[in-house]
Structure 1
Amino acid sequence: MKSFRLLVCVCLASASAPALVHAQDLTDEAAAVPSEATPAAAPAAPHEGLLPSVAADGCELHIWPAERMNSVTTGLLGGGLLDAALHSGKDASNKSLLASALDSQSQLDALLALDLREELALSAGTTFVVHDEPLERKTMNKVKTRRSDSQAACYSELIVADVFYQKAAIYGRSLKTLFMLRKFDAAQKIAFEYKAWGGNGLKLFPPKEGEDTIAALDELVGVFKANFSEYAKNERTTAAARVATK
């Protein structure tokens, strides 16, 4: 069974109505409907950072976190097997810290804290469908059909493909993130696809012995967000140029 959570835009009909509600796997929705004798549970609190003021309009953005984390440290040797062997222990430690700071839930929370509708030029009533389980990295480019069972006519996918820490002798430390956005038409074919890296420098990560580990991990989350904003800006430019040339 495909596991995902649904974040639904609801009309703010009253002051008490939540801006967003969380729902369980849609395949279990029927079982979750309360009977007349059983009062409905109170709606969940809205997700922090997401405050839509319009009702859902039928458009969906499905979001998947990255499966793969990687760390590459290169010294004066400039890479290669010897360089990899010399830094294997440090890279293993960095990957563990990456997985701690940017696990699937943390990636999703970081993205949902941004204004994805504005960043990706989506309609104001777009519904977010959040998938907890990453897609297999090797299938990222091979599968050209929708990665969910949704039949929505207005449908897009945002996939985090890679989270990559790099330390280079010349360029210093950075976090790079590979994102893919796919927009489908009503015939369920890809109408637009944009895959690219976002990358920014790091000052605190990885923490040295005695340094503030929490601050270093928080920096990773902040740079992850900055990477997405950089990616989204380039995506909007690419999409606008594509429209202009039609």
Structure 2
Amino acid sequence: MLKGIKSGVCMAALLLAVQANAADNQLTASEKQAGWSLLFDGKDMSQWRNFKSETLSPKWKIQDGAMTLAEKGAGDILTKASYKNFELQLDWKIAIAGNSGIFFLVDETGHAIYSHAPEIQILDNERHSDNKIDSHLSGSLYDMVASPVSSQKQAGEWNHVVIKVKDSHLVITQNDVVTTSIVIGSTTWNNLVASSKFANWQGFAVKDSGHIGLQDHGDQVWFKNIKIREL
């Protein structure tokens, strides 16, 4: 009898664990209660549009439950909604020798999506030519803060990124490793900007709200489980 009880307890624990983890592109009950919403449900990309456009290029497609840049020339995309204090999480993977990025605080007053928006780098660290600078490797706050090696995976593997902005405090986590924790607009932030390629970019990271953006760098990239909550 005792053996049967233990077996039943184990099965119940396993069932609870399965129920706590939603399938791809779904929210768990606890996530719904915490205020999370989906930016992609695995079926359509209706919450996204191209930069400076009201429509979305058909070269962005859905493949095996993931948003993917299937062809060159798809263009950078952004959420239709803007966010100020928020927490974003998503999974990404990049093709061999690929390059892409995740933007936040995007506005459309510049000539390109990257003109004013900070970027979290997506890269095949081993094969892409932009791997010579540590702050250009995956999970880095691009050209400003290098991500730890422990946060990085091989091309073709799924990575989990969380971006949290609360009262200008930015925290980036990749694969459960904190890669950046900094206050936007602080002396430390301003010094990093001054030492980066963005030093003379008028309007870079001056807005305290904006869109979430995904980059077309000409290489195939996949995104899924894109979830956000306002703080």
Normalised by the length of structure 1, the TM-score is 0.25
Indicate the structure with greater helix content.
1
Name the larger-Rg structure.
Answer: 1
Higher relative contact order (CA 8 A, sep 6+): 2
